[in-house]
Amino acid sequence: MGFVVSLQASPIILTGDTTRLSTHQQAIAFLDSLQHLDSSKHWPHVDPELFLQNLKTFATSPLRFYEGKGTNLCAYSALTYIPLNHDPLGFSRFMVALYQTGKARMGKVLIKPSAAIKTEAGLLKYKGDLDISPAGQIWFLSLADHFKGYLNFFNRRYHKDDENTLWASTNYAKFNRMLRKLFPVKVHARGADLVRPWLDDISAYLNKRSKVGPVFLYLNNRLLYKKNHVVTRFGIPTHFVLLLDIREVHGGSYNIVYWDYGKKTLQQVDPKLLRKIIFGITDYSLKNQ
Amino acid sequence: MRHYIYHIIPITLLCLSLSCTHSKQFTHTYYRENEVTLHSIKQRFKQLYDKNPFSLELKDKDLGHIGLEIHTDTVKYIYSFRLDEPYLLDTLYKYGFDVRAMNDLIDDMQKAHCTWITNLDYYEKRKKKYLVFISVRDKKLTGFMKPEKYFTLAFFDQPQPYDAKQRLLDYEDLSKNRLINGAVFRKVNDTVSYALTGKYR
């Protein structure tokens, strides 16, 4: 599989991604107005200054949001695109309330993390930039603590290092449920945990849906991003990403640009691999659109 | 029938025990035999990385198919080439790589059976640091009825703490092991640690 060297990843325009409930400037103005946060008794290991700094970074550079190395937090990271882009002020207010009172409401859900989560947030280590993002740790751990799917059945309570285990995992139905409950969105989902979406032309479908708005993909990451040389015949999806762009290039391959791990990634895949790796396609529109 | 089983079970056990011994021997001898090449790989990689952050993978057993990940501030470009294709050179020129140094790095990696090299970032007291992470794929690590293993090496810039069993410790909390990609690493020397893992990255 060769590459045309003139490939460019930008500019990326998500044509349907224009509706904003608030702006990044409003979020920054709100955070600046706080000036200072006192330490919270609910989050003993979170430095308030660093927490506030994290929230400002989320507001100014949403695509730098990072789920951490070796964790199972990709689903929570992918869905964070919605509040950070459509309502950064709402997200900042939610996070500050969660920090100060130990609970806060987002959408239809009252997030009230368990004591184990409150103790652990701020202590995650060797996860790359997540180490210095206690706000990110609070958000990820709180979501994983609140939302449960069948993958979490045997490990429902947080223990040390559970961010790397099935405790944090997300199946496709849970992901779509989280979107519906947390945000004012209409969710349109195709696919399932073990069965690929029944589509004649998956790339044409992705093109069409990404023109309406951002598209989340539920992927078999072992094929896209190999970590060993084992030939896998029966792949299962394990990773959520946000698809930012898909374009056909010469030879019938596709350049896909997706967002995960705090960065955009541009990768060329052939149509066969594209069909093989995608198990779920979720797009959404804001309810007031 | 039972007569055959009495032979098959001990033979299987013998094969398994021999394959374990093989892995142990490999970890002891590989670094010693390839130390010069490994340090040359590390140095070349760091010099190239300082100008253009990237990771490099030799994908197949023949070491003729490479994966190149180029990291810019906001985008990671993932490329895949055969070494006999012209695309690799074109791409290296386009991104401003020192092509000769990159070819030397690839040669060294082939020589030492390295399948993956990258810079891993980590934080100590909120300061960002890097270690060079190299994975080695060698047929000596593949035993009968055993999944493929990788000999992974972590090259630190500063001496690291180890416990009495030579396991790498957390610099900030010496009561804990320092895991890298979820694996416990052991001492090669003060700045180099190793582990046998099921994943190369």
Average pLDDT over residues A67-88: 96
Q: Does B85 touch chain A (CB under 8 A)?
A: yes
A251 and A276 fall within a common domain: yes
| Residue A251, in any domain of the structure | yes
A245 and A206 fall within a common domain: yes
Q: A2 vs B147: CB contact, 8 Å cut-off?
A: no
Q: Considering only alpha carbons, which residue of chain B is nearest residue A2?
A: B81
Could you please report the per-residue DSSP string of chain B?
Answer: -HHHHHHHHHHHHHHHHHHHHHHHHHHHHHHHHHHHHHHHHHHHHHHHHHHS-EEEEE-STTS-EEEEEEE-SSEEEEEEEETTSSHHHHHHHHTT--HHHHHHHHHHHHHTTEEEEEEEEEEETTEEEEEEEEEE--GGG--TT----EEEEEE-SS---B-TT-BBEETTEEEEE-EETTEE-EESSSSEEEEEES---
| Residue A1, in any domain of the structure | no
Comparing C-alpha atoms, which of B164, B200, B166, B165 is closest to residue B180?
B200
Q: Which of A132, A227, A266 sits opposite B201 (nearest CB)?
A: A227
The three-state DSSP-derived secondary structure of B80-134 is: EEECCCCHHHHHHHHCCCCHHHHHHHHHHHHHCCEEEEEEEEEEECCEEEEEEEE
Q: In what helix (H) or strand (E) does residue A239 lie, and over which residues does it extend? A: strand A239-248
Query: Given A180, A209, A226, which residue is the final one in a domain?
Result: A180
| Residue A199, in any domain of the structure | yes
Q: Does B87 touch chain A (CB under 8 A)?
A: yes
CB B166 within 8 A of CB B173: no
| Residue A240, in any domain of the structure | yes
Residues B153-169: pLDDT tens digits? 999 999 999 999 999 99
A151 and A121 fall within a common domain: yes
Cα A51 from Cα A118, distance rounded (Å) = 14
Query: Given A180, A201, A218, which residue is the final one in a domain?
Result: A180
Q: Does A252 touch chain B (CB under 8 A)?
A: no
Q: Does A9 touch chain B (CB under 8 A)?
A: yes
Q: Which of B79, B179, B198 sits opposite A126 (nearest CB)?
A: B179
φ and ψ at residue B27, rounded to 5 degrees: -60, -30
Query: Given A180, A200, A226, which residue is the final one in a domain?
Result: A180
| Residue A217, in any domain of the structure | yes
Helix (H, G, I), strand (E, B) or coil at A218: strand
How many structural domains are present in chain A?
2
DSSP bridge pairs for A278: A219
Residue A251 has pLDDT above 90, yes or no: no
CB B95 within 8 A of CB B51: no
In chain B, what residues touch A227 (CB-CB under 8 Å)?
Answer: 199-201
Residues A180-224: pLDDT tens digits? 999 999 999 999 999 999 998 999 999 899 888 889 999 998 888
Q: Which of A2, A9, A228 sits opposite B77 (nearest CB)?
A: A9
In chain A, what residues touch B94 (CB-CB under 8 Å)?
Answer: 5-6
Q: Which of A263-267, B20-24, B79-83, B172-176 has the lowest mean pLDDT?
A: B20-24
A137 and A268 fall within a common domain: no
In chain A, what residues touch B87 (CB-CB under 8 Å)?
Answer: 2-3, 5
Comparing C-alpha atoms, which of A80, A79, A30, A12 is closest to residue A245?
A12
A87 and A150 fall within a common domain: yes
Tokens of A102: 């130990």
A167 and A205 fall within a common domain: no
> Which residues constitute the domain of residue A70?
24-180
| Residue A77, in any domain of the structure | yes
Question: How far A4 CA sits from the closest chain B CA (Å)?
Answer: 7
Residues A123-141: pLDDT tens digits? 999 999 999 999 999 999 9
Q: A230 vs B78: CB contact, 8 Å cut-off?
A: no
A104 and A144 fall within a common domain: yes
Instruction: Tell me what pLDDT residue B4 has.
Output: 64
Q: Considering only alpha carbons, which residue of chain B is nearest residue A228?
A: B199
A105 and A236 fall within a common domain: no
Domain CATH for A207: 3.90.70
Task: Report the amino acid identity of residue A210.
Answer: S
Q: Which of A10, A164, A230 sits opposite B182 (nearest CB)?
A: A164
A51 and A82 fall within a common domain: yes
What ipTM was assigned to the predicted interfaces of this complex?
A: 0.88
Q: Between these two residues, A162 and B16, which has the higher pLDDT value? A: A162
A39 and A172 fall within a common domain: yes
Question: How far B150 CA sits from the closest chain A CA (Å)?
Answer: 9
A105 and A229 fall within a common domain: no
A145 and A206 fall within a common domain: no
Residues B99-153: pLDDT tens digits? 999 999 999 999 999 999 999 999 999 999 999 999 999 888 877 677 788 999 9
Question: How far B122 CA sits from the closest chain A CA (Å)?
Answer: 5
